Chain A
């Protein structure tokens, strides 16, 4: 067995760890579970683990995928239970399998979010938000490693909906997960930049599912 893929959740307190921290946590859990992880062969060997779509700090996910290179066989059916017994709160492995889809086939990501407002008419807010995104191409300016850049966000969004809750607005969308990778927080950033009166006080997102170009589930 050379390579396996883990499908795992990252929720609750674990969502506040950075991508690198989560990688370290996964690596340590694999060691605790005596999984024969393969190491690089350099002077300071490191475990060969890669996460397909790293998660931003504070964003939860029900559909994280990590590839792990092995130097021996493991019992794939038993592995989720073994790993879950040694993972911290919020990290839960759902499935372990071989022959995962090629990373290049990943295209879309479905997310759900909760936008908090201090009070007011949530139904009106949801309607206003939906209207703004429906009527015009929406741009967002974000800071990247190469400086500030502007992106037409609406070109990379599908099925965006806003639904009122008691004191918040529920957001759901399918966003691009490859070329470009869209951070769901940019939806809130776009609102803040274009319509400050609709800016939420707090936002939380949770990744729901990954898809190929044809919207079949990516595994």
Chain B
């Protein structure tokens, strides 16, 4: 271990974040590998190590002969300061080597608030921030992850983006990079060639032009660049990589358990939900495969908890059989099984009784909106009766606490919808009174609201976000009407939702804004310690960026959008149709009830999804 690092470690919080050496890490001889890749996660260790995508990519990339993929996370503020004081460049955990020694740096970006952390990590590694300032091919700096479905805000910084599921694509990029490096290609030649790989977006090959009113005139592809970049997906999800031998961290992380991925995509079609649209089409794993993977992962890791991962676990058709199979293994070994992402409409006593056999976890539902009208607008497909029936089942089963998540500022929301949240919370309290077998234990209903952020590639991508002032007015209205003593109301601050809205639908002019924010000390901005609205406002004033233009402005349907060159599989006409349906409060069926023809099935050979 570097002596400078040894001197620093006693002076920082949670030094285990920075040393590696965990059970399951992959060590290769760097002299025997053809290409070294740093898999970078722009957040701290505990968050990055909890990320399923990171686990999958780490395994997938290390399975490629000749490739050694190592992990890199952002240091917390105390470590960052010490590293700068000691001039210690950012290193990868496995080898301890600085990032400058790697052939490729691949960033996994799941949320927009991580953008400035990318800049911090590049700078800590001593690597120029702007793609155009990195003249040589090595190191290639690229990104993937769900935030990259609008790559434009970070277009100046990355050499290329991989759109869609990285496990199907990253290897092809690295193979081309290896050939290009060995044959002495220029970076320009490599990028032109890389742009021919389906799913690769090379931002320098697209030129945005703006109208006088500030909206986009076009994002023009330069010669040789594809008109549209279609996301890549794993077609054979049943047999795709699931890391049963994943690293077991030596320090506690956020999701410290085995996570079993049931399926990708979602059958539901909630109109606000980006994940529900960009991870289409639905692809399932079989119960047999999941049981085998679950057992293997538990045996390898020694974890005492396993959780089921998906966008909506209760929509997994064989869920009872899976729970029974897992519990057959888990129960005698004292291993807990938890089921997040349950929907209020099909939650059942049967499933609940199964999962609480070993350890009982919390109960959380996300009705998202307080009235049926608004739930229909967003296509949530959950009725108040569904929710109250599920709560009744839970209360009769002994639960005495429930968390309810809502959004404020959804399209067409009125004060009546806001007050509907308080009324719904009151009905949950009433339901508990009628069903709880032991009322002496009391009840805790936690209602949380966040501000709706319109996201690209959803039917609400054209909507404006409500202003911060309006969001706070609705928060106040709700707070004043939340009367029951058993109900606790938490609300998310509007500032981060506002900035997230700016970044989500930003264009290439956001790049200099991000740099300015970073230069003033902004990074790890998803943490309150790293975020400052004043810093954002000052940076916006300096760079001439009108934040409200990006966050609060509704887009016309014929407006050119920054992400129009990216095809996530769902047809634009489908998004427009869904938007119109939402205006009329008309529900769309889930994919199992009837196919709405979104277009995503065309990404699969054979064109049939598992919805």
| Cα(A30)–Cα(B333), bound, Å | 12
| Contact (A13, B20) CB under 8 Å given A43-B360, A86-B302, A204-B6 | yes
Cα-based distance from A22 to B248 in the complex (angstroms): 12
B248 contacts A28, CB within 8 Å? yes
Name which residue of chain B comes closest to A116, CB basis: B7
> By the criterion CB–CB under 8 Å, are A17 and B6 in contact?
no
Mark B8-47 against chain A: 1 for CB-CB distance below 8 A, else 0: 0110001110111111000000000000000000000000
- Is A202 an interface residue when CB atoms closer than 8 A count as contact? yes
In the complex, A219→B500 CA distance in Å?
A: 58
Contacts of B1 in A (CB 8 A): 12-13
Contact call A28/B334, Cβ cutoff below 8 A: no
Name the one of A31, A47, A57 contacting B15, with C-beta atoms under 8 angstroms: A57
B299 with A32: CB separation less than 8 A: yes
B302 touches A21 (CB 8 A): no
| In contact, A87 and B23 (Cβ under 8 angstroms) | yes
Interface size on B, residues (CB 8 A): 28
What's the minimum C-beta distance from B336 to chain A, rounded to whole angstroms?
Answer: 8
Find the A residue at minimum CB distance from B23.
A88
Residue of B at shortest CB range from A87? B23
Min Cβ gap B477→A in Å is 39
Q: Which residues does chain B contribute within 8 Å of A204, judged by CB atoms?
A: 6
- The reply to whether B9 and A58 contact each other, CB–CB distance below 8 Å, is yes
The distance from the CB of A136 to the nearest CB of chain B, in whole angstroms, is 27
Report if B549 contacts A (CB, 8 A): no
Is B301 in the interface zone, CB < 8 Å from A? yes
On whether the beta carbons of B250 and A86 are closer than 8 Å, the reply is no
Q: A13-B1, A27-B302, A31-B304 are in contact. Are A21 and B252 (CB under 8 A)?
A: yes
Interface assignment of B251: CB less than 8 Å from any CB of chain A: yes
Q: Are B334 and A39 in contact (CB under 8 A)?
A: yes
In the complex, whether B359 has a CB less than 8 A from a CB of chain A is yes
Q: Compute how far the CA of A136 lies from the CA of B248 in the bound complex, rounded to whole angstroms.
A: 49
Q: Mark each residue of chain A from 30 to 47: 1 if its CB lies under 8 Å from any CB of chain B, else 0.
A: 111000000100011101
Contact at B334–A45, with CB atoms within 8 Å?
yes
Contact A89 B359 (CB under 8 A): no
Query: A9 to nearest B CB, angstroms?
Result: 14
Interface status of A14 (Cβ within 8 A of chain B): yes
Q: Does any Cβ of A come within 8 Å of B185's Cβ?
A: no
Contact of B16 among A18, A29, A39, A202 (CB under 8 A): A18
Sort chain A's interface into a size bin: 20 to 34
**Which residues does chain B contribute within 8 Å of A16, judged by CB atoms?**
9, 15-16, 18-19
Once bound together, how far apart are the Cα atoms of A45 and B331, in whole Å? 12
Which of B10, B299, B303: most chain A CB closer than 10 A?
A: B10
**B363 → chain A closest CB, angstroms:** 15
Contacts of A201 in B (CB 8 A): 7
Known: A24-B252, A32-B302. A89 touches B15 (CB 8 A): no
> Is A32's CB under 8 angstroms from B304's CB?
no
Q: B251 to A17, Cβ gap below 8 A?
A: yes
* Contact yes or no, A14 B21, CB < 8 A: yes
CB-defined contacts of A30 to chain B, threshold 8 Å? 302
Distance from B488 Cβ to chain A, minimum over Cβ atoms (Å): 23
A90 interface residue (CB < 8 Å to B): yes
- Which residues of chain A are within 8 angstroms of B14 by Cβ–Cβ distance? 18
A25 close to B (CB within 8 Å): yes
B21 is contacted by which of A44, A86, A89, A203 (Cβ under 8 Å)?
A89
Chain A residues whose CB sits within 8 angstroms of the CB of B20 once the complex forms: 13
Within 8 Å CB of B334, what residues of A? 39, 45
Select from chain A the residue with minimum beta-carbon distance to B256.
Answer: A24
- Whole-angstrom distance between the Cβ of A88 and the nearest chain B Cβ: 4
Q: Which residues of A contact B19 (CB under 8 A)?
A: 13, 16
Query: Given A57-B10, A57-B15, A202-B6, list of 9 further CB < 8 A pairs?
Result: A14-B250, A17-B251, A27-B304, A31-B303, A32-B300, A32-B301, A43-B359, A89-B21, A90-B21
* Complex A-B: 25 CB contacts under 8 Å: A12-B1, A12-B21, A13-B20, A14-B21, A16-B15, A16-B19, A17-B251, A18-B14, A21-B252, A25-B23, A27-B302, A28-B248, A29-B302, A30-B302, A31-B302, A31-B304, A31-B333, A43-B360, A44-B359, A45-B334, A86-B302, A88-B250, A201-B7, A202-B6, A203-B10
